[in-house]
Chain A
């Protein structure tokens, strides 16, 4: 029964979404309020129906309804309770439902917020949002139906991919998709503004805030993805330049570019055309990413080999790109900027350079990702460029971006005077140089790492200097230091939220540099009782222990770790044998630390437990990525909050300052 109900709900939602999109557009053309109200009801209906689809699928998972093909493919009777719910988005069909559901949710928020405040833009925004929803519902109806019936009904399912049985899988796809779908709101506003020809500036403010929201979730999704890769895949890394990672990273880059260049538009009325282009690019890249990873044309950890879904996405992508850029061309004469660049040494040009580098990074990532396809099409040889290419090309670009991160926020608008430069940059530059010298003396030999450290200190210096000055200014009004800092963060939350994001990026940059430069690893086969040493740790093989879990069989190795001070910890990396897999899956064990993580992967072992092969990594400063990520998301949250909130008078802090 469930498959039929689900399918009916999907088709009904599709029909409603198509109707709603048409009605909203027609109401805008004819100015008919009744049609607009009707399209709003359709939007609510779409959301309700997709919610019903999700609940039905969750119900099917919880009751082991193997008559639903998707349930049978992604769960079995041993799958633990939580993962039976998250299995919902464990594969293609379910992730499309999640995607459509979030899109419908965003549409409802748009209805609630802008129905009254943006009467002219709003019907078109609604039409575009429902149009995009229609596409996803179409995908759910034809190429990737989540409710496909399986006959005969198997006694048990195939089980969830063991790599997905992890808490990261609960949050990673949700955050990522909230980010991806979130970019449809700025896109819808951009399209609406182009259609009605009001390319004025109030919609750009709305768009900016929505872009930060989507950017926030996408950042979170990327970070959790990195964490999942690090602690589940057992190769000790957090980023592999895998096509699917690149697919999520590209819209992040263009959205970052937009968040910066939009400030120039707000301030100087420049770059309207460029900003619209970035919005369209960002949205298109979310679709392109899905096409890339879901069409199976490029293999990846996440690739599903599903044929026609790719064609649907490609067709929709073509429609979006063609449609959007045609609108842009049509309105070209209204998009001329009013301001002009005055000097190369100015904030405008720092931001322009920032945009140039971010877009260049996007391009190189794009190029490297599709390179195998290009080469095969052009030369007929199958070649690829792996992580070395991406690292080689992107490291200089990101170092340049780091430098601009220090320059941009403090340099003067229009034309920076020598006095402005001296006042804002003399001390931070000096601090950066001193830091480079000190780290060189401390024995840091790698030139790139030194450069990164110097730039981080320089940027941190500019942030500290600016914050210090602003606090000092507030103190003149009689506030204490703590009060002044809080006041700044809360009242000028947009500017200082941005600074907090920058601080997070600095910490992440240190984590990347440190982990690439200073991590070390070894591999050894140990007899029971034997030990191996790495980076001051002694790792002793204590024994092997088999056990039976709800849906797999597990062999756990016990390793006692000591250093020169005595026992440190006991780590228990394991191998899991799932009946549905031919080969075991490693479950890593680790001890995370601020400066270094000890990371153990159990390799091969003797059946009698007499010896085992173990891979040991000491990964330095990887934790900085997660800490930096936390700071970054906090900063983004701060920047999203409504601006200029009246500062709550902070309670006197008992904590010593």
Chain B
């Protein structure tokens, strides 16, 4: 084998290893973004989801003693009950957008491990609860990658 071929072969092996790394990384950590209607239609228990919606007014229950947080996320058509252990984060409130990460529980609720309230530098999150408001909200939430 000429030196050139050896270098090429070595390089290819490394590139292939890196490609596999990326492939494995994606298949292990891919998270599906769903709305409450989409999740309600076909929930798969144990699968990782990122669920976005509006915190339904009147649904927020927070017990500081047990750190138990419960609320309902809505997209105007369907609602999903969410449970989380921990303090509600900044920017999290009723009638505001939120994205939660976690899994669907067999017992009929969404177990959130992380709550991402919508951060935005100019805080233009729409807060009217009309249908148009929901649409706009979901549009912003679908692109949401806020910090935990």
Contacts and interface: CB of A to CB of B under 8 A. Distances in A.
B124 A388 contact: no
A298 B142 CA distance: 9
Interface stretch (A259-267, A279-287, A576-584): A576-584
Given A233-B147, A240-B147, A582-B127, A525 B28 contact: no
B123 A91 contact: no
Contact of B33 (A305, A383, A389): A383
Given A300-B145, A381-B32, A523-B86, A356 B11 contact: yes
Nearest to B33: A382
Interface in A431-473: none
Given A382-B33, A383-B33, A91 B122 contact: yes
Interface string A550-593: 00000000000000000000000000000011111110000000
Interface stretch (B62-70, B73-81, B103-111): B62-70
Interface stretch (A111-119, A146-154, A314-322, A392-400): A392-400
A234 B144 contact: no
Interface in B1-51: 3, 6-7, 10-11, 14-15, 18, 21-22, 24-26, 28-34, 50
A235 B148 contact: yes
A581 B145 contact: no
Given A383-B31, A523-B87, A613-B67, A299 B145 contact: yes
Contacts of A586: 90
Interface in A367-405: 367-368, 371-372, 381-386, 388-389, 392-393, 396-397
A639 to B, nearest CB: 28
Contacts of B57: none
Interface string B92-136: 110010000100000000000000011111111001000000000
Nearest to B87: A603
Given A91-B121, A344-B10, A603-B87, A525 B64 contact: yes
Contacts, number: 148
Contacts of A396: 21
B71 to A, nearest CB: 14
Interface in A208-267: 229, 233-235, 237, 240, 242-243
A304 B14 CA distance: 39
Contacts of B10: 344
A371 B30 CA distance: 10
B8 to A, nearest CB: 11
B127 A303 contact: no
Given A381-B32, A382-B142, A385-B31, A393 B6 contact: no
B7 A341 contact: yes
Interface string A290-312: 00000011111111110000000
Contacts of B29: 385-386, 388-389, 392
Q: Which 6 A-B pairs have the closest CB atoms?
A: A603-B87, A299-B143, A382-B33, A388-B29, A525-B64, A389-B29
11 contacts: A91-B121, A164-B121, A240-B148, A301-B119, A305-B120, A305-B122, A305-B124, A382-B33, A392-B25, A583-B91, A615-B86
